[in-house]
Structure 1
Amino acid sequence: MIGLVVAMLAAAIGIVGLGITASRDSVDDALVTEKVDELLAAAPAAVEAPAGESVLPVFVPKAELLPVPATEINVSYAPAVPPASGRTTPAIVEVHFEVVENVVAIDPATGVEYETWGFRLNGDSQVNMGTPGPMIRARVGDVLRFTLTNPATSTHPHNIDLHAVTGQGGGAADTTVAPGETKTIEARMLYPGMFMYHCAYGDVPLHIAHGMYGGILVDPAEPLPTVEQEVYMVQSEYYTNSTEPGLVETDRQSLTDENPSMVVFNGAKGALSGDNTLTMAVGDTMRIYFVNAGLNLDSNFHPIGSHWDAVYPEAALLNPPIRGSQTTLVAAGGGTVVELIGQVPSTIVLVDHALTRTFDKGALGTIVVTGEANPEIFEALGDGVPATDDSPAAVAGETVEIVAGSWNVQDMDAPDEFAADESPADYSINELRIAVGTTVTWINNDEQIHTVTDVDGAFDSGFFATGESWSYTFDTVGEFEYFCIPHPWMRAKVIVEG
């Protein structure tokens, strides 16, 4: 854009100068007109230039580049994001990964285990699961010096295709390493954005399905505005022959059929919920750098109970963001950068809005927003149905406890969902039988915000926090199934008898 402005300014100066020259009697007007036309033809068109103009950085020769400062951090494990460098000049960014092949829990709550293949920082033996791999952060114009080691203890050859890299196979051809080998490439970061990387060796779908993927962020020369929190997220799929507890194997046919057994965030069910939930304060902005590793399904990324205040489609950071979006589409092998604001205290639920992937297969994360309520944005009105002269005579009330830990992610439609001995339990009573006119009070003894919401819309508590309660008087005979909006696996019933 600077080049465009300079070129147009030079053309304008030239034209003015020629105009002055033409006012002299000794100069041929036709000659001046010809020169003006030449200048105008050579000047970039203001409207067309953004599409036709090169956005590639001006290269500083590699021989003149220095390594990044010793204090600069360029890698981190999900969901952490390396801090922005703050540099205004390019440098050499050195990153060294090693392959990790291990059996790990991909559904810790039920004990489903799978042999994942992934990436970790070289020598980091404390990391047993490299799925997703570490996030890399560089700056446009930087040279990435990337090294991949495949330990001698590995079983398979591997490599890495970095979508941020321009070169054969995104570097895959020159990073192919058999067990015991190490290879290095250097690549210029040409375009800013959030890019996927993955193994591209042999049966590429199989290697990705085993967990060999991650993300690389290339910051633009003019960095994005500072926000209070940044998060690294990857959506991916597992294709297993079972979802029962124990070690499961790959179902290669379901991989071909594009029918995953699990769809997850950050490599496993529960990786961004329960004890791993994200947190933010009211008024803060969270920026999420998101990659859809697929390998087959597009993602319909949506924050239940919030909005994307800003979306950079395809994570293309040279372009202005969309403002005020509800759901953004992320192609398999693509990315996005989204921002949301903590407007009110609540639990925001991050989902793929092809919702069977969320509630049946695991693509669910949570953000707990804490702080002062703002009734100008959201307020629950009333504590239930007010009594009237025609209401049935009041009877002794009932109390239902929302039990501690009920917010931890569970399977939807569990066979014991409404059983008295449901495990793990969400409520102290799963099927409450009462007489018409009874007032039921729900007490939140969990650490998270909840709602009590009838599936058919008969009542809705709104959010109520730990230690708070909400009451509703049932004056109609019938069966009322209810659930919690931010934790929809929490389901129970009230049966009202005449």
Structure 2
Amino acid sequence: MFDTTRRRAMQALGLGGAATVAGCSTQAPTAAETETERRQMEGTATPTADQVAADPTDLPEPIDRDEPTTHEITLRYEEVTAEIEPGVTFDFMTFDGQIPGPMVRVRQGDTVDLTVENPPENALPHNVDFHAVYGTGGGSVATTAAPGEENAMRFRADYPGAFIYHCAVPNLDMHISAGMFGMIVVEPRDGLPEVDRELYFGQHEVYTDGDVGQEGKHSFDMEGMRNENPTYVLLNGEKYAWAAANRGPIEVDQGDRVRVFMVDGGPNYSSNFHPIGNVWKRAYRDGGVPEDGDLDAYADKNIQTVKVPPGSCMIGEMDTPVPERIKLVDHALSRVARRGMLAEVDVVGDENEEIYDPDAHDSSQEGPQYA
């Protein structure tokens, strides 16, 4: 089964057979066969990672130059076993061992020389489709690599915005659900408006054969994926990864303008992205920005919740005039309460009672008082 499944995957990807559209070949191994092959690798070649949750504060600096340049970028396809939550492990597929994959940040007109590596210990072939690329499959055909191989492509980033990249081999929904997605930001020629802090998040749903919190090793649940009934809905690959209950909260200073980049890998759920206790002061829906002109005028203002479809992104900015804990959620709130979708940002500073007074209750008054 192992050799046969791998051979069929190679043929479906054009590695020893006719090239096909990713995910659409009748010669491709089924999702069940892919999972069987992965299980055969368990406990042998699959490495174990301490975490897959990408640090939201670890992202490239804003672009500060007026001329185009060339970037040499390498992405490594890594299949790892890690915890979704304490006591619950899962076989993830990732770019560079993290979810979401590393942010790629360039300027409109820049050239990217991309190398991809698929380590020999991996079980499966992988590739990458950049939504910022003019080219067949967003570069997925050019970047397909079997275990133990590498590949490369070059592209010029001709249109600005925030765009997803993701694996696009047969059974691409399984690969994306297991973590293979990230973001490329193509800044417009005049750059993005200056802010004080930037954060980077990625949402996706994971389909497993166990219940939320059920201890032990969870395997991928094909039927759950087919029915779009996930076990977990996650921000950065772990249950409450960057909330106070886990690795968070993230701290910012009072008065900071905070920019949030968010990519929805899906593969199936749209996100209803909302900062509880705040608002998106400026929001760029679907990561869209104009090529020229006033970005501030282009942005939507004071948006409470931004719909982010699977396979898309958003850029949102928050003001922080009072100390508080901002909860970043999908406002389909059962995903927060039941399935792990939450990050928290603490604004550190002094009370500003003119804007918000948490101790305004006068105990001498009976009943609620309204102005």
Shorter-chain TM range is: 0.7 to 0.9
Report if the CA contact (8 A) 2:328-2:344 is conserved.
yes
**Letter in structure 1 aligned against 2:134:** T
Alignment map for 1:51-450 (pairs within 5 Å): 78-79=55-56, 80-108=58-86, 111-120=87-96, 129-242=97-210, 243=212, 244-274=214-244, 275-318=247-290, 320-382=298-360, 385-386=363-364
Deviations 1:49-97, CA, capped at 9 Å, x for gaps: xxxxxxxxxxxxxxxxxxxxxxxxxxxx541220023121111111011
- RMSD after superposition: 1.7
**Letter in structure 2 aligned against 1:186:** R
Q: Secondary structure at the match of 1:185?
A: strand
Report if the CA contact (8 A) 1:160-1:198 is conserved.
yes
How many residues matched?
Answer: 305
**Letter in structure 2 aligned against 1:293:** G
Q: Secondary structure at the match of 2:239?
A: coil
How many Å apart are 1:106 and its aligned residue? 1.1
- What is the TM-score normalised by the length of structure 1? 0.59
Q: Distance in 1 between matches of 2:98 and 2:282?
A: 30
Q: Distance in 1 between matches of 2:286 and 2:122?
A: 34
Q: Secondary structure at the match of 2:141?
A: helix
Q: Distance in 2 between matches of 1:258 and 1:153?
A: 30
**Letter in structure 2 aligned against 1:310:** R
Q: Distance in 1 between matches of 2:324 and 2:166?
A: 35
Q: Distance in 2 between matches of 1:132 and 1:175?
A: 19
Q: Secondary structure at the match of 2:219?
A: coil
How many Å apart are 1:238 and its aligned residue? 0.4
Unaligned runs of 5+ in 2: 1-53
Q: Secondary structure at the match of 1:207?
A: helix
Q: Distance in 1 between matches of 2:281 and 2:202?
A: 20
Deviations 1:358-405, CA, capped at 9 Å, x for gaps: 1111111111011111111111354564388xxxxxxxxxxxxxxxxx
Unaligned runs of 5+ in 1: 1-76, 121-128, 389-457, 460-498
The residue that corresponds to 1:392 in the other structure is: none
Q: Distance in 1 between matches of 2:157 and 2:208?
A: 36
How many Å apart are 1:130 and its aligned residue? 2.6
Q: Distance in 1 between matches of 2:315 and 2:219?
A: 33
Report if the CA contact (8 A) 1:346-1:369 is conserved.
yes
Deviations 1:275-306, CA, capped at 9 Å, x for gaps: 32211111111001111111101110001111
Report if the CA contact (8 A) 2:63-2:187 is conserved.
no
Deviations 1:253-279, CA, capped at 9 Å, x for gaps: 111111111111111113211232211
Report if the CA contact (8 A) 2:266-2:310 is conserved.
yes
Report if the CA contact (8 A) 1:159-1:200 is conserved.
yes
Q: Distance in 2 between matches of 1:328 and 1:85?
A: 25
Q: Secondary structure at the match of 1:343?
A: coil
Structure with greater Cα Rg: 1
Report if the CA contact (8 A) 1:116-1:131 is conserved.
no
**Letter in structure 2 aligned against 1:364:** L
Q: Which has the higher contact order (CA 8 A, sep 6+)?
A: 2
Cα pair distance change 1:382/1:324, threshold 3 Å? closer
Deviations 1:221-267, CA, capped at 9 Å, x for gaps: 01112111011111111001113011101111111111111111111
Cα pair distance change 1:380/1:210, threshold 3 Å? closer
**Letter in structure 1 aligned against 2:344:** T
Identity %: 37
Q: Distance in 2 between matches of 1:183 and 1:380?
A: 57
